[in-house]
Amino acid sequence: MKTIQVSVVTPDGPVYESDVEMVSLKAQSGELGVLPGHIPMVAPLQIGAVRLKNGGNTKYVAVSGGFVEVRPDKVSILAQSAEVSDSIDVERAMRAKERAEQRLREQQKENVDFRRAEMALQRAVNRITVAGNK
């Protein structure tokens, strides 16, 4: 079966590089599936899981926004942050989720940046979900 090269990169460096049969991710415009030979495109990403299918195996990478560049033979994901499911610290993600939920509960009392707290909650929930897909 044909494969496509995938590269997930953050400002801290590469997170994942491999050849896969299919990539699924969440662009701002919706769910996107990429197979070898896909038309070239660039799209902003949502916070979500990138699914990388190869044979009977599926790897998951949690990404916190960024961009995807698709070419017929390569997919480049430039993410603000990204973690492969095997390397996610679930306890740390749970603590981040609890902190974000606490901030959202306290927003009426204090001058809490609602959008920032909401994004932190989405990132934490995404990491916990992706970690469950080891």
Average pLDDT for residues 33-50, to the nearest whole number?
Answer: 94
Predicted structure pTM score: 0.81
Q: Which residues contact residue 38 at a Cβ distance below 8 angstroms, ignoring those fewer than 6 apart?
A: 4, 70, 71, 72, 75
Domains, the chain, ranges and CATH? 4-85 (2.60.15.10), 89-131 (1.20.5.440)
pLDDT at 87 over 70: yes
* Confidence at 101, pLDDT banded by 50, 70, 90: confident
pLDDT at 133 over 80: no
The pair of structure tokens assigned to 122 is 């989405």
pLDDT at 104: 79
